[in-house]
Amino acid sequence: MTNVYVSEHPLVAHKLTKLRDINTSPKKFRELVREISALMTYEATMDLTTSQLEVTTPMGSTTGQELKDKIGLVPILRAGLGMVEGVWGLMPNAEVWHIGLYRDERTLKPVEYYNKLPIAPTVKVCLVLDPMLATGGSAVATVDILKKWGVHRIKFVGLLGAPEGVAAMQKAHPEVPIHLAALDERLNEIGYIVPGLGDAGDRQFGTG
Ligand code: PRP
Ligand code: URA
């Protein structure tokens, strides 16, 4: 599969296994989402552009680098919220633009309920954050929104994906790289990822 990057990092695999565990508490679940998101972002941002700058050290001066493009983190509410802190820890100057979508339980189609993007784009690169890429409807709709906003460098950073979601994203937005901690087997009859981890929003917020 082109443009799909599934982490092979042992730390990611270790933490993801704990995340899947039905006995993991919401507190521990949130901690793991935060930690895995940071590890995933490290991998997903390998190709960010930098520009050179001179830096003075206590011993002299040298040429260093700084991130060139303004970055926007775009968590899809609710479950993407839990990923923000982990990613923000690595890039504290990133802007955070929330997109509110929920999946209609019957149709499995995304319904938009929150979008406060200003008219003109304020960032060059967007990282769409959502732990679950199931049918792909939410991710596709969010990338649609960001493209319409005027951002064209977009990456999807998730935790678990289903083949159906990956296929939907590749069809709609083939140039958007998809970074996942694991690619699971399939969706079940109600659109949940199997083996998955259950409902990522409910498990984080204790609402299940
Ligand atoms: C979950 C998840 C994704 C979406 C994935 O959100 O966080 O946003 O489902 O499914 P899809 O790929 O089929 O669109 P949900 O709609 O359950 O809302 P929540 O995060 O508020 O719980
Ligand atoms: N949303 C979730 O939270 N979990 C799934 O398995 C699918 C969609």
- Decide if pLDDT at 1 tops 90: no
Cut 0.95: pTM above it: yes
CA distance 202 to 13: 22
- Ligand in nearest proximity to the CA of 110: 1
Ligand 1 center to residue 117 CA distance, Å?
20
Would you state the pLDDT for residue 124? 97
Average pLDDT over residues 91-116: 96
Output DSSP code: residue 73.
E
Q: Across all residues in the chain, what is the average pLDDT? A: 97
Would you state the pLDDT for residue 193? 98
List the Cα angle 154/31/22 in 5-degree steps.
100
Average pLDDT over residues 5-14: 98
Q: Is the CB of 110 under 6 A from ligand 2?
A: no
- Decide if pLDDT at 17 tops 90: yes
Phi-psi region of 29 (alpha: psi -120 to 50; beta: other; left: phi over 0): alpha
- Residue 200's pLDDT band (cuts 50, 70, 90): very high
Would you state the pLDDT for residue 169? 98
Contact yes or no for 154/174 (Cβ under 8 A): no
Tell which one of 22, 81, 185, 193 to mutate to probe ligand 2, the residue whose CB is within 8 A of the most ligand atoms.
193
Query: Which domains are seen in the chain, by residue range?
Result: 4-205 (3.40.50.2020)
Using DSSP's 3-state secondary structure scheme, residue 27 falls into: helix
User: Which atom belonging to ligand 1 lies closest to the Cα atom of 168?
Assistant: 12
Exposure string of 77-112, with b = 16+ CB inside 10 Å and e = fewer, is bbbbbbbbebbbeeeeebeebbbbbebeeeeeebee
- Residue 208's pLDDT band (cuts 50, 70, 90): confident
Q: Which amino acid is at 117?
A: L
Provide, rounded to the nearest whole percent, the portion of the chain with pLDDT above 70.
100
Quick count: other Cβ atoms within 10 Å of Cβ 57? 8
Quick count: other Cβ atoms within 10 Å of Cβ 20? 18
- Ligand in nearest proximity to the CA of 80: 1
Would you state the pLDDT for residue 2? 84
